[in-house]
Amino acid sequence: MIARPLLALFAALLMASAALAAPVTFSNDESVPAVVTDTTKPRQCVIAYLVTDAGSNDMFVSRQQVAPAQDETATRGRYACPTQVPARVATRALEPCLARAADLKLCVFGDMARGFENRPDARQTAENTSRCASDLASYIGIACWNTGDRDVCNVACGNTEQEARDLARGRCEVKQQKRCEITGAVAILPPQ
C-alpha cells in the first residue's frame, strides 16, 4: 500500500528531472559578441611628435607605439619608453605632412629655432624637443607666433592639457622673444 504512492512520487521526480536535463537550444544567430577589453591593462609606450607644414601652417600629431619587452613591467600603469629614439622613428613622424605638402622641404618638426621665420627648413627645427613620451607626460603642447605668412612654434610636454599649453607658451616666449598667442595641446595616447 505504501509502495504504490512511493512509486508514483518516484516516477514524478524522474519526469521532472528529465525535463530539467533537456538540452539547451541555440539560435542560428552567428553574430560575434562585443570584444571586452581590459581597461586596467597598462598601455604600450607611445611617442607623439608634432610636425608642421611651414608652407600652409598645418600642424600634425604623429603617434608611434613601442611594444614593451617580454619581461618588462609597468610602473604606475605605464610602460617605459626607450630613452634613445632611433632616427627612423623621427623620419616616419614626418609622413603625415609629406603626404599632403605642396613643398616637401617645408615639412619640419614643430619645435623651431629663433630665426626660423627667415630660414624655414628642417635644420632650424629640433626632432628631440618636438616629441613627448607617454611614460613621462599625458599631453603634448605647442605655442606659436605668426610672422604674417607662417607660424613659428615651440613644443612642451605636460600631464594636463593646460599644463602642456602653458609650458609650450613659456618656452616659445623665452626662445623666440615674442608673444606666443597661438596655442594647442593634444593627448599623447590616442583614444581607445
With 0-12 CB in 10 A as exposed, 13-18 as middle and 19+ as buried, what is 178?
Answer: middle
Please report the pLDDT score of residue 2 as a whole number: 56
Please report the pLDDT score of residue 75 as a whole number: 82
- Digit-coded pLDDT (tens) for 165-174: 999 999 999 9
Backbone angles phi, psi at 20, to 5 degrees: -70, -30
Please tell me the total number of residues recorded for the chain in this structure.
192
Q: What is the pTM of this model?
A: 0.76
With 0-12 CB in 10 A as exposed, 13-18 as middle and 19+ as buried, what is 180?
Answer: buried
CB 42 within 8 A of CB 77: yes
Please report the pLDDT score of residue 126 as a whole number: 96
Backbone angles phi, psi at 166, to 5 degrees: -65, -45
pLDDT tens-digit profile, the chain (192 residues): 555 554 455 555 555 554 455 554 545 556 666 665 555 678 889 999 999 999 999 999 999 998 888 878 888 778 889 888 888 999 999 999 999 999 999 999 999 999 999 999 999 999 999 999 999 999 999 999 999 999 999 999 999 999 999 999 999 999 999 999 999 999 999 876
- Digit-coded pLDDT (tens) for 77-122: 788 898 888 889 999 999 999 999 999 999 999 999 999 999 999 9
